Structure formats: structure tokens, C-alpha cells
Amino acid sequence: MGSPVATGESYAVRTPNECWMELHRLAASLEAEGVTRPERHVNLTHELLALPPLVRQELLGELRFLLSELTSLEPVVADLVDEAKPARMAK
């Protein structure tokens, strides 16, 4: 099973695929914010500005962390997915 991850004062056991499932949910949530990228940006920024300043600052930090991590992870994952394709799918 997954390793314990701190969640406040307690520890929760994460499942092996939890990060990938969260990424899937985040993508679906982002899509639900609008049909076009500009529409999603307007909706998300409107929601963000309705939050308290401290929360906005924390979310900005989390956004930057995710962008950095996912940007560097993408080519690694793409290579692994390409390498793992069965021969008939690689064509």
C-alpha cells in the first residue's frame, strides 16, 4: 500500500494510484470551469478573488509547485508510456 502522508495532526495511508486519480479529477474539474481556456481563466480567477487573501497566496504557491513538478514530470512519463506500448500500438 502507499506510504503515510501527513494530513494535519494525523496520518492517512495513500493508495498507490491516488496522485494519478487526483490529477484525473483536477483535469475534469478544470474542464467543468468552461468550454474555452479564456472562459476557464475568467471563472477560476473570479472564484479565486472571492477567497481570503491568505488562501489566495497559499493557492498561488500550490499552483506554482504543481506547474513546476508536472512540467518536469511530463517528459519522463511520456517516455515511459511510449516505451511501455505494445508493439502493435507503437505504429
pLDDT digits (tens, 9 = 90+) for 47-73: 999 999 999 999 999 999 999 999 999
Torsion of CA 33, 76, 62, 51, to 10 degrees: 0
Cβ neighbours of residue 31 closer than 8 Å, sequence gap 6 or more: 40
Grid coordinates standing for 4?
A: 503515510
Distance CA 24, CA 53 (A): 28
pLDDT of amino acid 13: 80
Mean pLDDT lowest for which of 7-16, 26-35, 55-64? Answer: 7-16
Q: Are 1 and 16 in contact, with CB atoms under 8 Å apart?
A: yes
Beta carbons within 10 angstroms of residue 10's beta carbon: 7
Q: Are 36 and 23 in contact, with CB atoms under 8 Å apart?
A: no
* Res 6 pLDDT > 60: no
